[in-house]
């Protein structure tokens, strides 16, 4: 499994506080060790985002990703739950 960052994700990450950026890399390491660690709250999304998944980065920041041919593509960083479901 290779984790890849989409351009949109990289831009969003650069705008985040250092605390969130560091937390992301800690969560990626955890993700690589145990995809279903309870800390990540890894789950499939529904509705318009069906086919994508979400993991917790911090208490209110989530990373949205998709699995394509055994690779993980990080697409977006989302803040509050309302940003995700509108």
Domain of residue 27: give its range.
3-85
Residue 62: pLDDT over 70: yes
Q: How many domains does the chain have?
A: 1
Say which CATH number the domain at 13 has: 3.30.2310.20
Whole-number pLDDT of residue 13? 94
Q: How far apart are CA 76 and CA 12, in angstroms?
A: 7
Residue 17 backbone dihedrals phi, psi, to 5 degrees: -60, 155
Which pTM does this prediction carry? 0.86
Residue 10: pLDDT over 70: yes
């Amino acid at each position: 499994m290779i984790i890849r960052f989409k351009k949109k994700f990289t831009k969003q990450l650069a705008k985040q506080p250092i605390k969130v950026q560091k937390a992301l890399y800690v969560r990626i390491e955890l993700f690589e060790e145990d995809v279903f660690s309870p800390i990540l709250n890894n789950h499939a999304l529904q509705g318009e985002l069906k086919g994508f998944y979400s993991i917790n980065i911090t208490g209110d920041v989530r990373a949205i990703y998709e699995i394509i041919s055994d690779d993980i593509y990080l697409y977006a960083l989302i803040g509050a739950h309302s940003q995700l479901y509108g």
